[in-house]
């Protein structure tokens, strides 16, 4: 049974690291965006999102190796996911960011 515990521990570590990666990516992306783009997109302000994502990333660091599937880390992951799937595309449409090919956006 010790081998099963090791596999389970490894899987939990992988889940924790992946969740932390998503949270950190969302925080860094929010840091790189213009302040006025958040309000122009009709979203919460940049300082509020930085606070949310900063707390989410801190929670991810705390629980990366110790129960990454607890309720706090799940809420932190959802906050980062909301930023990435809702706020980030809205900001990119305002700032003109996105995939630019040789003939414009695609």
Domain boundaries, the chain: 2-96
Give the global pTM.
0.85
Separation in Å, CA 26 to CA 17, 23, 50, 66 = 14, 5, 9, 22
Q: Exposure pattern of 4-17 as b/e (b: 16+ CB <10 Å)?
A: eeeeeeeebeeebe
| Predicted local confidence at residue 39, as pLDDT | 94
Bridge partners for 104 per DSSP: 101
From CA 83, how far away is CA 81, in angstroms rounded?
A: 5
Q: Three-state SS for 66?
A: coil
Rounded to 5°, the CA angle 9-66-53 comes to: 125
* Interval 26-74: pLDDT, tens: 999 999 999 999 999 999 999 999 999 999 999 999 998 878 889 999 9
Q: What is the dihedral of CA 56, 60, 62, 67, to 10 degrees?
A: 120
Least confident of 28-32, 71-75, 86-90, 99-103: 99-103
Average pLDDT of the chain is: 90
């Amino acid at each position: 049974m010790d081998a099963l515990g090791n596999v389970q521990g490894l899987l939990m570590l992988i889940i924790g690291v992946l969740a932390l990666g998503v949270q950190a990516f969302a925080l860094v992306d929010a840091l790189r965006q213009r302040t006025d783009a958040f309000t122009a997109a009709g979203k919460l302000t940049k300082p509020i999102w930085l606070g949310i994502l900063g707390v989410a990333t801190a929670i991810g660091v705390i629980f990366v190796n110790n129960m990454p599937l607890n309720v706090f880390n799940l809420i932190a992951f959802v906050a980062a996911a909301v930023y990435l799937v809702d706020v980030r595309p809205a900001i990119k449409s305002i700032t003109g960011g996105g995939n630019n090919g040789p003939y414009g956006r695609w």
